[in-house]
Amino acid sequence: MAELYRLIVRDGSDVAALSNVNQFIINGLNLQTRAAMSLMLPSMLPSRWFFTDDRLGDDALALIAGLPRDVGVIVRVREGGRARVAALVRAARRHRHVVLVAGPILAALRTGADGAHLPEQLARCAGKRRPHRRFRLTVAAHSRPALVRARRLGADAAFLSPVFATRSHPGGKVLGPLGFARLARAAGLPVLALGGMTSHQAGHLRRAHGWGAIDAWHGRPAH
């Protein structure tokens, strides 16, 4: 096939012929490969994420400053209001991290974040329209119906959880590697893992386009 392509180029055949060869190559890919290509993370979205948490207090600012550049930040604030959210977003942008705000899209816009991370409840009533072309959108999901909603919403990716046990929900039901892979396989959009995640755990997951965590970024037991 590669030889055929070179012959066309050398002989100066028309662009239509090149296009036909390209299409032949694409059609020759198996369905699994084409599906994988169609579900790649958008270039602006990192595959690793730090989720902030109120219990970290001011340590969150120091953690953001020490993160590798290719780690994204999702700002989750339940206490402290807009001022706290704004401070965390500023810190992430100062250190050149992609940063999303967990909550309504309008809240993310107000802070100048790169996008929003919608909790599952908000995703149920969100519309498909985005504020601008580069605005990024991820969605929290805990089930197959939630992943279906995320896909219909046109989200860039979904965070599926909990994959493993977490300190915030001790004894809670978890998906495990097999449950995660089963749901992610049929999701129809990129799926990242959340819940008890570390880089080691992520290495044992199939169908994961990335992962997010809280405690994994500062050496504490996985959250």
The string of pLDDT tens digits covering residues 149-164 is 999 999 999 999 999 9
What's the mean per-residue pLDDT of the chain? Answer: 83
Tell me which H or E stretch contains 211.
strand 211-213
| Domain presence at residue 14 | yes
Tell me: do 89 and 184 sit in the same domain.
yes
Q: Which amino acid is at 4?
A: L
pTM: 0.80
CA count, 13 A, side-chain hemisphere, 81: 1
CATH of the domain at 76: 3.20.20.70
| Domain presence at residue 19 | yes
Tell me: do 90 and 23 sit in the same domain.
no
State the helix-helix crossing angle for 59-66 and 81-94, rounded to 10 degrees. Answer: 20
CA 53 to CA 145: how far, in whole Å? 26
Q: Of 25, 43, 12, 53, which is closest to residue 194 (Cα–Cα)?
A: 53
Predicted pLDDT at 155: 96
Domain around 25: 2-31
pLDDT digits (tens, 9 = 90+) for 4-59: 333 333 344 443 343 343 443 334 434 343 344 345 787 789 999 999 999 899 99
Predicted pLDDT at 137: 97
Tell me: do 137 and 179 sit in the same domain.
yes
- For the chain, the C-alpha Rg in angstroms (whole number) is 20
Biggest distance spanned by C-alpha atoms of the chain? 68
pLDDT digits (tens, 9 = 90+) for 79-137: 778 999 999 999 999 999 999 999 999 999 999 999 999 999 999 988 888 889 899 99
Tell me: do 159 and 75 sit in the same domain.
yes
Tokens standing for residue 85:
């959210």
With 0-12 CB in 10 A as exposed, 13-18 as middle and 19+ as buried, what is 98?
Answer: buried
Count of structural domains, the chain: 2
